[in-house]
Amino acid sequence: MSTGTTRGVHYLDDFAVGQTYGSGRLKIETDRIKSFAAEFDPQPFHLDEEAARQTMFGGLAASGWHTCCLFMRMIADGFVNNSASMGAPGVDEVKWLMPVRPGDDLKLRATVLDKRASKSRPDMGFVRFKFEMLNASGAVVMILESSLMQGRREVGA
Amino acid sequence: MSTGTTRGVHYLDDFAVGQTYGSGRLKIETDRIKSFAAEFDPQPFHLDEEAARQTMFGGLAASGWHTCCLFMRMIADGFVNNSASMGAPGVDEVKWLMPVRPGDDLKLRATVLDKRASKSRPDMGFVRFKFEMLNASGAVVMILESSLMQGRREVGA
């Protein structure tokens, strides 16, 4: 994910409401869909094509948690590891809108919804994002909203 | 996770507001914390003890998404795969309250907050749960709220 025109490490001060970021693509493979499900989400529609055809998914679909994990990888590579990230207190909302299928080429769009300084800690603040995961057809398969904690460029400035 | 005194497959009709369920324990190991993070959440405090000591975590901590995935495994084993589960449209909220540490013995407590029939589909409905993940000391490390779709015992009854 490119963080626009700003270079170097990103701080709270560098994020602006309304800003959008795009990411590169990340392909989800059949074998990993199944092995992820075997470890974390062993439901028939995530494990086996034949069993999945008999369900409401009509075919193999990735666990929604697998999509969340790929989302995390995309933002880590994209900007979290190039920012003054201090983690996240949680997730405001996740919507799984469409099945993610074997071979889907996923990509992320991030929009800054809100930004605020912490009341109790002058060295940090919160950037609230809307993240949309898109498949190769451009359909939004998942929406996730979350506030990320970010350090400030100048403490107490 | 035991589904109380009711035996056999669980349907929408079998869940009652206020009901609580407990789970067995699931241990999170150091190596899996690191390998999970290497694939999905490569931040220093999830990857390496030494690097983690320099961060706000003060030591290695599991990715919050790893905890979410273990939560999914616990509910799949506990009742989802023994119910008329039709998946979930998403997650209402996740709060990561405390770091999950190597060797933590996790356990889940589920409470039914709400239950309603679907307006558009007589064969199903939604059960809204509050899930609390506890560590061996009994501290709540994560709270997750989510509505699970469940089939009805008798369609249109």
Instruction: Write out pLDDT tens, residues A114-141.
Output: 999 999 999 999 999 999 999 999 999 9
Q: Say which of A42, A91, A96 has its CB closest to residue B89.
A: A96
Per-residue burial over A41-73, b if 16 or more Cβ lie within 10 Å, else e, is bbbbbbbeeeebeebebeebbbbbbbbbbbbbb
- Determine phi and psi for A6, rounding to 5 degrees: -70, 135
Q: How far apart are CA B105 and CA A57, in angstroms?
A: 34
Q: How close is the nearest chain B Cα to the Cα of A92, in Å?
A: 5
Q: Burial level of B116, CB count in 10 A (0-12/13-18/19+)?
A: exposed
| Per-residue pLDDT in tens (0 to 9) along chain B, 157 residues | 544 433 467 899 999 999 999 989 999 999 999 999 999 999 999 999 999 999 889 999 999 999 999 999 999 998 888 888 888 999 999 999 999 999 999 999 999 999 999 999 999 999 999 999 999 999 999 999 999 999 998 754 4
Q: How far apart are CA B107 and CA B132, in angstroms?
A: 8
Cross-chain Cβ contact A95/B89 below 8 Å: yes
pTM (two decimals): 0.92
Q: Say which of A45, A69, A92 has its CB closest to residue B40.
A: A69
| C-alpha pair distances (Å), B144 with each of A34, A97, B79 | 24, 19, 16
* Residue in B closest to A41 by C-alpha: B73
- Determine phi and psi for B56, rounding to 5 degrees: -65, -15
Q: Which of B65, B55, B99 is nearest to A85 (CA)?
A: B55
Q: Which two tokens stand for residue B5?
A: 């005194």
Q: Burial level of B26, CB count in 10 A (0-12/13-18/19+)?
A: middle
Q: Answer whether A68's CB lies under 8 Å from A94's CB.
A: yes
ipTM: 0.92
Pairing type for strands B124-134 and B26-27 reads: unpaired
